[in-house]
Amino acid sequence: MLLELFLSNKHPVFAILTICLVLLSVSIHEFSHALAATLLGDQTPRYTGRLTLNPFAHFDVMGLFFILFTRFGWGKPVQIDPTQLKNPKRDMAIISFAGPFSNIVFGFVIILMMKLADIFLSGIVGLYVIDALMPVVYITFGLAIFNLLPISPLDGEKIFIFFIPEEIQSHIETFMRTFSFIIFLIILAPIIPGGYSVFTLILSPIYLLIDTFLSFLGLL
Check whether 62 has a pLDDT greater than 90.
no
Tell me the pLDDT of the chain averaged across its residues: 87
CA dihedral in degrees (149, 154, 158, 159; nearest 10)?
-30
Q: Is the dihedral of CA 195, 201, 202, 206 positive or negative?
A: positive
- Alpha carbon distances (Å) from 202 to 10, 142, 149: 29, 10, 10
End-to-end Cα distance, the chain: 21
Find the largest Cα–Cα distance for the chain.
Answer: 62
pLDDT of residue 114: 94
pLDDT of residue 9: 47
Check whether 78 has a pLDDT greater than 90.
yes
Instruction: Give yes or no for a cis peptide into 153 (omega within 30° of 0).
Output: yes
Check whether 187 has a pLDDT greater than 60.
yes
pLDDT of residue 127: 86
Check whether 70 has a pLDDT greater than 80.
no
Check whether 113 has a pLDDT greater than 60.
yes
Check whether 66 has a pLDDT greater than 80.
no
For the ranges 3-7, 47-51, 151-155, the maximum mean pLDDT occurs at 47-51
pTM: 0.89
Are 45 and 80 in contact, with CB atoms under 8 Å apart? yes
User: What is the rounded distance in angstroms from the CA atom of residue 20 to the CA atom of residue 14?
Assistant: 10
The amino acid at residue 214 is L
Of 9-18, 145-154, 211-220, which gets the smallest average pLDDT? 9-18
pLDDT of residue 103: 95
